[in-house]
Amino acid sequence: MSSERLAGLLDEYAELEKRLADPAIHADQGTARRVGRRYAELVPLHKAAAELEQARADLVAARELAAEDPSFAAEAEAIATSLPGLEERLAELLIPRDPHDAKDVIVEIKAGEGGEESALFAGDLLRMYTRYAERRGWLTEVLDAQESDLGGVKDVSLAIKTKGVPEGGNGVWSRLKWEGGVHRVQRVPVTESQGRIHTSAAGVLVLPEAEEVDVTIDPNELRIDVFRSSGPGGQSVNTTDSAVRITHLPTGIVVSCQNEKSQLQNREQAMRILRARLLAAAQEQADAAASDARKAQVRTVDRSERIRTYNFPQNRITDHRIGYTAYNLDLALAGDLDGVLDALGEADRAARLAGDTELARR
């Protein structure tokens, strides 16, 4: 394990502890939250290092005592046996972690192939993530949604965030970052009169929510258009031009929001989504420069590019990236996602230990 890296992180922990103890920092809630998140990330490392240091000191003491009194030999042996586990735990914590793990997220779900059935499935995915968030005690907020005629969603942006500072620096991103990609469903659609099983798909994009300090946006590089909101089937749901479309001219990224009745509120929601997309784009560029082998989340809604299949006749959920299969689809759609997410997390942990930080996300 790198003693220099450990010393540097422990110094950072001590410095952050001092900053949080200073009442002045809480005058700026944004700064306090960022410092608190980073501090929370380092708490497990500090604890593991302290436990290992104490165990090593106890071993020295126990061996000295055992030299005078053989009855202490068993205690010394027990302490020595515990050291490899403590060292392995600390080594794990020293592996560079995903810098976004403590962040909240914006989940975008888009209907793809399959028409109305795809929109209904996108609605199922929205409920699945909302219910999972409720189980975790997270907060959810629909930033924008375009509903379909039968009650599904054509396109929806959902913000999910923790309450306060996430324990151990494990925020929403640390659990949902693998959800980006194409999700495929196999079932008999409500629109199918012959009872035949159809396959359709919906695309999911998970973005770490960016704070203003994460992304610099020049107002002169934005084109902001306003228009009248519309609901399912094209009917107007608002008699004023309150919907907002923001175009980031340098990148061509376009974000539209029409959920709120206020133009100002829609603009604020659109800016949140835009910041998240720009942060993700910057991260992709950095990752691509570091490794040509990195594969980003799938952004096309093509059934052949699936990451997961939801098979209703078999009550089966299969994640194709890690070969995970379980026959509890009904529970998963009700928000019980820990089985597949734990499996993805373990695959990622094994990959990071092996030096491949992207294995579980491909």
The type of residue at 177 is: K
Q: Which residue segments constitute the domains of the chain, with CATH numbers given?
A: 1-94 (1.20.58), 105-212+299-354 (3.30.70.1660), 219-289 (3.30.160.20)
Position 301 pLDDT exceeds 60: no
Name the pLDDT band for 360 (thresholds 50, 70, 90). Answer: very low
Distances (CA, A) of 275 to 34, 106, 300, 310: 17, 10, 21, 31
Q: What is the pLDDT of residues 20-42, one digit of tens each?
A: 999 989 888 878 888 888 898 89
Q: What is the pLDDT of residues 124-159, one digit of tens each?
A: 999 999 999 999 999 999 998 988 888 899 999 999
Name the pLDDT band for 289 (thresholds 50, 70, 90). Answer: low
**pLDDT for position 302:** 46
Q: What is the pLDDT of residues 181-239, one digit of tens each?
A: 999 999 998 777 677 888 999 999 999 988 777 788 999 999 999 988 765 544 445 55
Position 332 pLDDT exceeds 50: yes
Mean pLDDT for the stretch of residues 312-335: 96
Report the distance separating Cα 306 and Cα 183, nearest Å.
6
